[in-house]
């Protein structure tokens, strides 16, 4: 289990430094609860690429553990060369969530002077990244819980919950802590086309926590807001630029525009490891494009003409001016501006 006892653990390291990784296979949820053991760095790369493990913080933890797998049984004289081979390879798994690159850089630093303890150090570092992830989830929840007033309606997009992290989640951590404080509220989970992380994952994990959750198709959000059923929106993030522009699951930008049009606050919840201060603004953030079949042949049924042209960006960027505040494990950034971001992250 994760430290969030009602959601099964997303990622677990089994054994010592020569052990392996056990993942909850999120492609099988909510129908089946299936674990998958990854014993090679190739297994981890594949699991990240096909979204068996997904969500920015969880991708970072999985990649760090993948480095350990890739370095097992490597003689000291080959360690440095192999380390860079493995990290370069893992960098090609998915491009948008910066936590992947952040975790790989940490792993490289901790083994920059190879010796016969290097594998052990890498393993300890991967476990430390996972533990920090659990702590940051909890702190985001504590900082954000009071944004959820008694009786409110909350809309979320994609899955930024326990399944996307090693702990309570980011956006959903705020809801879990609000619920622990005795707050009653109702959540609308956008289905999140094309891979349905909202319907399959967010609805599943909130229901496990006995939180009142209603699934809507993505194109229903405007109507639900117009009916005054939504008091706030909370989403996660995959990469936040220095000016606060935020990449998150495709559709998030549209939700932010709708929130603005209806006068509803739009919050982003993310750990400091999701900030990429080397990117001045959102135009610099790489956006993953995925296979057409996710749209034309999703979940085993053809839903568009054979060979039709498809465009399938997996993320979009919400401009900072549409974001009411960003909730991090270090505090709340409001208004979302470069100077405030630095103040909170460095504070």
- State the residues that interact with ligand MRU by CB under 6 A: 51, 54-57, 97, 158, 160, 164-165, 169-170, 197, 236-238, 248-249, 314
Catalytic residue among 231, 238, 245, 276: 238
Contact between residue 90 and residue 64 where contact means Cβ atoms under 8 Å apart: no
List the end-to-end C-alpha distance of the chain, in Å, as a whole number.
32
Nearer Cβ to ligand MRU (106/249): 249
Assess whether 238 carries a catalytic annotation: yes
Distance CA 266, CA 258 (A): 10
DSSP state, 4?
Answer: S
Nearer Cβ to ligand MRU (158/215): 158
- Encode 129-154: b = buried (16+ Cβ within 10 Å), e = exposed: bbebbbebbbbbbbbbbebbeeebbb
> What are residue 327's DSSP bridge partners?
269, 332
Nearer Cβ to ligand MRU (97/145): 97
Contact between residue 9 and residue 166 where contact means Cβ atoms under 8 Å apart: yes
Nearer Cβ to ligand MRU (19/265): 265
Nearest approach in angstroms of CB 162 to ligand MRU is 9
Nearer Cβ to ligand MRU (82/91): 91
* Structure tokens that stand for 160 in this block: 């930024």
Pairing relationship of beta strands 35-38 and 246-249 according to DSSP bridges: unpaired
Query: Which residues have CB under 8 Å from 306's CB, separation 6+?
Result: none
Nearest approach in angstroms of CB 71 to ligand MRU is 25
Run of H or E including 195: none
Nearer Cβ to ligand MRU (158/178): 158
DSSP state, 53?
Answer: S
DSSP state, 39?
Answer: -
Nearer Cβ to ligand MRU (56/129): 56
Contact between residue 69 and residue 21 where contact means Cβ atoms under 8 Å apart: yes
Distance CA 186, CA 213 (A): 6
Nearest approach in angstroms of CB 165 to ligand MRU is 5
Count other C-beta atoms under 10 Å from residue 36's C-beta.
Answer: 17
DSSP string, 118-132: HHHHHHHHHHHHHHH
Nearest approach in angstroms of CB 294 to ligand MRU is 10
> What are residue 337's DSSP bridge partners?
none
Residue in the structure block whose two tokens are 């494990």: 329
Nearest approach in angstroms of CB 192 to ligand MRU is 8
Nearest approach in angstroms of CB 149 to ligand MRU is 23
Nearest approach in angstroms of CB 204 to ligand MRU is 14
Distance CA 179, CA 185 (A): 8
Query: Catalytic amino acids?
Result: 238
């Amino acid at each position: 289990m994760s430290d969030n006892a009602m959601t099964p653990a997303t990622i677990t390291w089994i054994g010592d430094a020569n052990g392996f990784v056990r993942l909850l296979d999120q492609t099988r949820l909510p129908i089946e609860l299936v674990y998958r053991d990854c014993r090679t760095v190739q297994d981890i790369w594949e699991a990240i690429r096909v979204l068996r493990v997904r969500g920015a913080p969880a991708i970072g933890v999985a990649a760090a553990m993948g480095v350990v797998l890739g370095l097992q049984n490597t003689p000291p004289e080959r360690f440095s060369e192999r380390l860079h081979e493995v990290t370069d390879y893992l960098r090609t798994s998915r491009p948008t969530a910066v936590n992947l690159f952040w975790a790989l850089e940490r792993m490289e630093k901790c083994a920059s002077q190879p010796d016969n303890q290097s594998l052990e150090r890498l393993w300890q570092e991967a476990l430390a990244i996972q533990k920090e992830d659990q702590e940051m989830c909890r702190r985001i929840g504590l900082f954000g819980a009071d944004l959820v007033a008694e009786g409110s309606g909350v809309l979320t997009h994609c899955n930024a919950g326990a399944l996307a992290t090693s702990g309570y989640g980011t956006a959903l951590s705020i809801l879990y802590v609000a619920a622990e404080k005795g707050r009653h509220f109702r959540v609308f989970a956008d289905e999140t086309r094309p891979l349905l992380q909202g319907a399959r994952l967010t609805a599943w994990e909130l229901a496990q926590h006995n939180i009142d959750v209603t699934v809507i198709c993505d194109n229903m959000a405007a109507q639900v807001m117009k009916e005054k059923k939504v008091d706030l929106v909370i989403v996660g993030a995959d990469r936040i630029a220095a000016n606060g522009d935020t990449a998150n699951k495709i559709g998030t930008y549209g939700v932010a525009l709708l929130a603005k049009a209806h006068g509803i606050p739009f919050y982003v919840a993310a750990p400091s490891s999701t900030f990429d201060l080397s990117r001045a603004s959102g135009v610099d953030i790489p956006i993953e494009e995925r296979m057409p079949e996710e749209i034309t042949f999703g979940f085993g049924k053809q839903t568009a003409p054979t060979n039709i042209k498809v465009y399938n960006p997996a993320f979009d960027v919400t401009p900072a001016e549409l974001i009411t505040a960003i909730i991090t494990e270090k505090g709340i950034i409001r208004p979302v501006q470069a100077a405030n971001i630095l103040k909170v992250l460095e504070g």
